[in-house]
Structure 1
């Protein structure tokens, strides 16, 4: 769905995107992560033909961009750097103009498609007030509605939950998962690790313009070889597991062990009550911090 080869963008002596080889497959929920200022938005704008690359190649939906971007865009829904709108017009009027400026769909079904898009993003009941009276969250939802007007094969979203409250973030996450199950590939650029971890199946991490990691999320979050145990008999458990106990915090133990089931059997056999037990997994935050250099701008930990 998206392929880049040695994609590079320079602004004078500043390298914003540095030889990036990106591969987004059909059906992916792909999280494109990076600290603020790492080159994420510049790369997204190049994918859509909004910024020209200094060097390298881009393919979107099997066609070269920007050379054949006009053939690609009807099948791509995009939201980049916040929603654009005429502030003096209503949300519906803005969507009608956006739809008329695109290709496909047609006038006869325009009103229905606009209402369906508004319903999907939680704006079905919005009145005729101008967009300048919208909250930031409402504007963000309107931008998403515009991206969904033609049931795109590919969604390219840059910080789509910006300005939304926790409930709104949850709703958009569920909507994107639903669209993906129906066949839409989702490419989500964000610095919010928690949101990407809950939604995405693959991630790419960019740092200082370079792609430093691209992998399945499940692979990245593999077991660490430690087991987390909750027990009211923490002292007894520590005695049984002498040499394997890495740390203890009240009734919570971290134990070096590769098999939670076998560890549970050992503890129960020794008379230790086990309240909870699970294999420890690396968090996405740990993965990203491992591959990004010191001095990178901060990531957001929550939506």
Structure 2
């Protein structure tokens, strides 16, 4: 039986997730790292302290890999097996769920044996906060919040865009998210130049972040779904990010924790609102957050692969509705 393109896309997403679960991030020649190096080299040519310059930078840095992915997708339109294989490898490259959980567990293990310096050394692989002055409680909070936010950014969102737009969606989302991480933060250099990257990332994550929050409620388990839903609906909009607060609030409710507080980003201090009603996270809660992240990833795969597989049926239904309307008129 010939594999359809819809089945090829769905199969590629599933295989890519399995590769990520088995292998984590590629250890050498990581495509995302290569993109970051290329974007940094481009920035040296395009930088100017203006929004227009930043928009041009994003257009070039994003447009080139998306165009290449579109060409690859077009070239495999008659070769579903090749499409599935290429989608699998691309999905593996853009996902980061397994490495996220591994780093979080490494930090939790360090806290479990009282090795605070080792935990501080691990934190930069999870988030951008300055770990030098953080104790066990703040290290645990930073890790739980990072796991919650990045489960959306590094798992749910790439799968969503892969299900909707195939290879260009996978590549485009990861490129946009990487650009945001590189230049989308507020600083003297990037206040204006990084504006386009930050806003693009916000738009790209609007739906995935809310799907991630909904899936958090779904997989929270008996007795935890109600608190997760309440925290999401009540606290999700308090966060300064239009997306991070959605998943962090839902995770806080699902885990029975209270998130938020003072965050130090190498001298830039932000005081985040309280999310959830429980106690502040401890080291042992990191393990629970990692298990919740894995469950959300599985649920996201089921939803997105199913969406990709059902694409022909949706198109047929829309075509039938249009035909009926033309006939009726």
TM-score range, shorter chain: under 0.3
TM-score with structure 1 setting the length: 0.23
Q: Which structure: greater helix fraction?
A: 2
Larger radius of gyration: 1
